[in-house]
Amino acid sequence: MSLTEAYLSLSAIMFGIGTLGVLLRKNTIVIFMCIELMLNAVNLSFVTLSREYGQVDGQVYVFFVMAVAAAEASVGLAIIMTVFRNFYSIETEDVHDLQG
């Protein structure tokens, strides 16, 4: 297994772990952290591929993803706060007024 493949596999495993985390955890903040993990897994792929192809594109992309993730984190936490104010909980199973 080449180094590239190893990194890509690691990335895939991280992505998988992140996905599983999203699926299995109930706390919205933890879920959000898992999503961050997924994003970082993708970042790892990008960096790996960028190195493989000898370009900077992928690495540039990673910066953007990180910036976006930061933005998402701030917005996300704010939303979680409003949810907490309305529901007094940030567990996903408590938030299901809307359904059907």
Partner 1 sequence: MSEFTVFAAMPFILLLSVGFGMLCWDLFFKCDRLVWLLAAVFGAWGFAIPQYFVAETTMNDLVYLDGYSLFFYTLILFGTAATFVLNHRYLAKQNVRTSSDIDMLILLAACGGMVMVSAANLIVLFIGFELLSVSVYVLCGSARKERASSEGALKYFLFGAFSSAFLLYGMAMVYGACGTLSIPEIAESVTSATPMLLLGIGLLVFGFGFKVSLVPFHVWSPDVYQGAPVSITGFMAVVVKVAAFGSFLRVMSVCFGSIQADWAALLWTISIITMTVGNIVALRQTSIKRMLAYSSIAHAGYALIGFISMGDAGGVEATLFYMLSYSLMTVASFGAVIVVTSGSEAQYENDSIDSLHGLGWSHPFISLVLTVSLFSLAGIPPLAGFVGKFYLFKSAVTAGYTGLAIIAALNSVVSLYYYLRVVVVLYFKGERTLDWAPEKSIGAGPTIALATATVGTLAFGLFAEYCYPFIVVAVNGFS
Partner 2 sequence: MNNLPTTSAVVEQALEIEKMGIFAIPLLPLIGAIFLGASLGQSKDRHWQSGWVATIFSAGSFVASLLIFSELIEGASSVRFTAWEWMSVGSFSVAFALTMDNLSGVMTLVVTGVGSLIHLYAIGYMDHDDSRPRFFCYLNLFLFSMLLLVLGENLLMMFIGWEGVGLCSYLLIGFWYKEMPNANAGQKAFVVNRIGDAGLLLGIFILFWQLGSLNFTDIQANVGLMPPYLIEAAAILLFIGAVGKSAQIPLFVWLPDAMAGPTPVSALIHAATMVTAGVYMVTRLSMLYLSAPNTLLVISVIGTCTAFVAATIALVQNDIKKVLAYSTVSQLGYMFMALGAGAFSNGIYHVVTHAFFKACLFMGAGSVIVGCHHEQDMRKFGGLRKPMKWTFLTYAFATYAIAGLPYGSGFFSKDSILWSVYSNPGSAAGIDVAGMPLSHVLWGFGLLTAFLTAFYMTRSLVLTFFGEYRGHHEAHESPWTMTLPLIILAVPSLIFGILFGETLIQFIAPWGRADMLVGHAKLAENHTYHLLELVSMGVAVLGVSLAAFVYLVKPQIASQTAKSAPKLYAFLSDKWRIDELYAAVIIRPLTGISNIAFRIIDRLFIDGTVNGTGFFVAANGELARRAHSGRIAGYMLFMVFGLIASLLFWILL
The three-state secondary structure class of 98 is coil
Query: Dihedral, CA atoms, 91, 95, 96, 98, nearest 10 degrees?
Result: -150
Total residues in contact with partner 1, by rule CB under 8 A: 45
**Helix or strand (DSSP H, E) at 67:** helix 57-87
Q: Is 14 in the site for partner 1 (CB under 8 A)?
A: no
Q: Is 91 helix (H, G, I), strand (E, B) or coil?
A: strand
Q: Where in 57-76 is the site for partner 1 (CB under 8 A)?
A: 57-58, 60-61, 64-65, 68, 71-72, 75-76
Residue among 10 and 58 whose Cβ is closer to partner 1: 58
The site for partner 2 (CB under 8 A) is made up of 19, 22-23, 26, 31, 92-93, 95-100
